[in-house]
Amino acid sequence: MFPIERPRRLRRTGALRQLVAETTLNPGDVVAPLFVAEGRDAPRDITSLPGHVQHTLESLSDEVRALHARGVGGILLFGVPATKDEVGSGAYDDQGIVQVALRRVRDEFGDELVIMADLCLDEYTSHGHCGVLRADGAVDNDATLDLYGRTAVAQARAGAAVVAPSGMMDGQVGAIREALDAEGYVDTVIMAYSAKYASALYGPFREAVGVEIAHGGDRRSYQQDYRNRREAWREARLDVDEGADIIMVKPAMTYLDILADLRREVDAPLCAYHVSGEYAMIKAAAERGWIDGDAVALEQLTALRRAGADFVLTYFAREIAEVLQA
């Protein structure tokens, strides 16, 4: 008679469970998205992202120090400009808010943590789209690529170790790589939002950056359709072929199949973006006492690592680092 299998033996104590855990999550595995606002003299709370603010330059520096002290792996900067225009010129202005913030953070921290900059025009355009518009109101893909290249160079010049194009324009990675290399920034890393879906989970983020798409429009003509799976592989392959060093899946929890697919198919490092709506839902339920917010956040972020993410971009970065260090 064969002995009864008893896999529960390995779950008996916390020490045993830790010893045989297949997946780990450490503070260095998370990156914090941060918002910095131009011309603000005090941080401004983001109501739908509890615990997060539109930073001043001074409060941004304080927050980065706190993240660094807790071992968080990096930061990703988003800008909130004081003024906007049709072509999003603040994105590639050397005195634009993100470039000013990048220089400040780089001067203090150097390469002690990974300094990333989101690369898009939507925060800076008066119409809220990720590129310049044609006369008919559609985004002009090719005209936008030139501005993405200019933005990448401005961000690299200001100190970004990683630029992260999020606009989902065809050919954006190749155009950015060409622009960076032409200016001598051959070591600047490109993290492409390769599988970025047109999701309903971005609402709190749009409050955070003050973006409203003109005339009730949306981005479904250039972000991916959430009903589709195979095209994520096509997008990721194109980005890697064009020179992406890291690829991303966004959102995270509702796209675990995409994350697992790309982990099997692509050798490049893989990031999962646990987005604003995912964060806000946990916070709202925890506030009502319906769930243990820290436990759910830890479970979800670990699940992203289990599905194949090398690191996670998350609004929980500081909190989860404190939980892991406790």
The H or E element that residue 30 is part of is strand 30-37
Query: Residue 306 gets which letter from DSSP?
Result: H
Instruction: Answer positive or negative: Cα dihedral of 104, 123, 141, 271.
Output: positive
Q: Is 84 labeled as catalytic in the residue annotation?
A: no
d(CA 305, CA 311): 7
Structure tokens at 1: 């008679």
* 119 beta partners: 165
Burial 191-200 (b: 16+ CB within 10 A, else e): bbbbbbbebe
One of 127, 250, 274, 305 is an active-site residue; which one? 250
- Of 134, 142, 114, which Cα lies nearest the Cα of 31? 114
- Of 307, 286, 287, 304, which Cα lies nearest the Cα of 295? 286
Strands (E), 96-175: 114-119, 162-165
CA triplet 261, 76, 85: central angle to 5 degrees?
A: 105
Q: Is 196 labeled as catalytic in the residue annotation?
A: yes
d(CA 231, CA 157): 34
One of 196, 274, 283, 318 is an active-site residue; which one? 196
In the block, residue with structure tokens 């002009």: 140
DSSP-assigned states of every residue in 256-295: HHHHHHHHHH--S-EEEEE-HHHHHHHHHHHHTTSS-HHH
Instruction: Answer positive or negative: Cα dihedral of 44, 100, 248, 325.
Output: negative
Phi, psi of 195 (to 5 degrees): -115, 80
- Residues with a catalytic annotation lie at 196, 250
